[in-house]
Amino acid sequence: MKRLIGVALTLGLLYGCGGGGYVPYAPHALSDAAVSSLVNEASSTNGVPPGLIRAVLMAESAGDPSAISLAGAQGLMQLMPGTAARCGIDPFDPDQNVRCGTSYLRGLLDRYHGNVTLAVAAYNAGPGAVDRYHGVPPYAETRAYVTRVISAYESY
């Protein structure tokens, strides 16, 4: 039983912060039109490319606003409770979550001088880990996440 739980936890870590990673057409996923509306609004407010926002959102929650990770991240952009509290939002409100997550992503892009790969790595592993390793941390989950997000971003 311990082995089964260990395998499940490892897979959860390898396949994204949303607990199960990117799962197209998740049971509670918003429609493509609803996601596009949220993404476009947050993009115009924060100056973050809509394709990047969508790639992060889909990697994090597969468009499910009720998603909760094993680490406690919540909502569409999988905000940690402290991040949501700093934004003063309800993490399960799709509009508020995407606005806060995009604002956080904008801050990471600024911190890493527009380097999308480092900003995405920091979104996943935290800026402390990116700074400590002077690049993408050597965590399998983060490396897989960065590859998945950048690939999706390039396809949007």
Q: What does the alpha-carbon distance between residue 110 and residue 88 come to, in Å, rounded to a whole number?
A: 22
Q: What does the alpha-carbon distance between residue 142 and residue 78 come to, in Å, rounded to a whole number?
A: 15
**Token pair of 58 as six digits:** 């889909």
Residue 8 pLDDT: 38
Spot the catalytic one: 41, 60, 141, 154: 60
Determine the average pLDDT of the residues in 123-150.
Answer: 98
Residue 28 pLDDT: 87
Catalytic residue status for 60: yes
Q: What is the mean pLDDT of the chain?
A: 88
Fold of 2-155: Lysozyme (1.10.530)
pTM of the predicted protein model? 0.83
Residues 53-84 have pLDDT tens digits of 999 999 999 999 999 999 999 999 999 999 99
Residue 26 pLDDT: 57
